[in-house]
Amino acid sequence: MNEKIIVLSPHGYIRTVDFMGGDISIVRSARVSYNADWRSGQDEGSDEKLIKYLWKNKHTSPFEHVTITFEIQAPIFVFREHHRHRTQSYSEISSRYTELPELFYIPEVSRVGVQSTKNKQGTMIIDDPDLLVKRAGEISELEQHCKKSFELYHKFLASGQPRECARFVLPVNTYSRMFATANLLNWFRFLTLRTAENAQWEIRQYANAMLELIRPIVPVSVQAWEENK
């Protein structure tokens, strides 16, 4: 397959590694229930209509017959949210086996804002020049902190500390890398939650990129999902 990649930051990206199936797989698996899978692919209009009917009416098992694997490089805190979707299979780089590269995420100053007063886990963005100046100083402190953390990490490794202990000093905005595999139904469930406006901004960027990588694989199914989220 032609690998496709979307770069999200100086260090973050998501890439399609592999997939099995497409829209035709969904209609074929749906029609086998009445021994008519042979009809699939003969009438694109009929196939499209069936896919949209299935999704709209929550007949979702046929969507499990498409699987997609992504390679994702993202900050650890993004992975911690991603891993809450326990219907996926994950293989992540192990910092017990290998030294982590010195890559860490630094947000844009305008992204930070203040703690939301209406959402215990959310952010409010306020148009306040004084606040932006304050946040700029704090972002600079964050960057220096990350550099110091990696400095200590390398020092511990050089002293012979085991990798599994030296990593204790690294912050959760350190980048990690993983493969994530799921069937299309569970990717849609992931996207429904993680493209929502109340999802954390960073994982929302990855979810939106994932959607654009899924779209050419199953364009009709994506359209059905978008119309009936």
pLDDT at position 37 over 60: no
Q: Alpha-carbon distance 145 to 62, whole Å?
A: 49
Q: Are 120 and 29 in a shared domain? A: no
Q: Are 57 and 117 in a shared domain? A: no
Q: Is 111 a catalytic residue?
A: no
Task: Spot the catalytic one: 31, 194, 204, 215.
Answer: 194
Give the pLDDT score at 117. 81
| Whether 98 contacts 182, CB under 8 Å | no
Q: What CATH number corresponds to the domain at position 78?
A: 3.30.1360.170
* C-alpha R_g of the chain: 21
82 in a domain, yes or no?
yes
Q: Are 61 and 164 in a shared domain? A: no
Q: Are 153 and 183 in a shared domain? A: no
Q: Is the pTM of this model over 0.75?
A: yes
pLDDT in tens, 152-206: 999 999 999 999 999 999 999 999 999 999 999 999 999 999 999 999 999 999 9
146 in a domain, yes or no?
yes
Task: Using the 3D structure, point to which of 169, 189, 214 is the last residue of a domain.
Answer: 169
What residues make up the domain containing 137? 109-169
Report residue 183 as tokens.
């069937």
pLDDT at position 5 over 70: yes
Count of domains forming the chain:
2
Q: Alpha-carbon distance 30 to 190, whole Å?
A: 22
pLDDT in tens, 84-142: 999 999 999 999 999 999 999 999 998 887 787 887 778 878 788 888 888 889 999 99
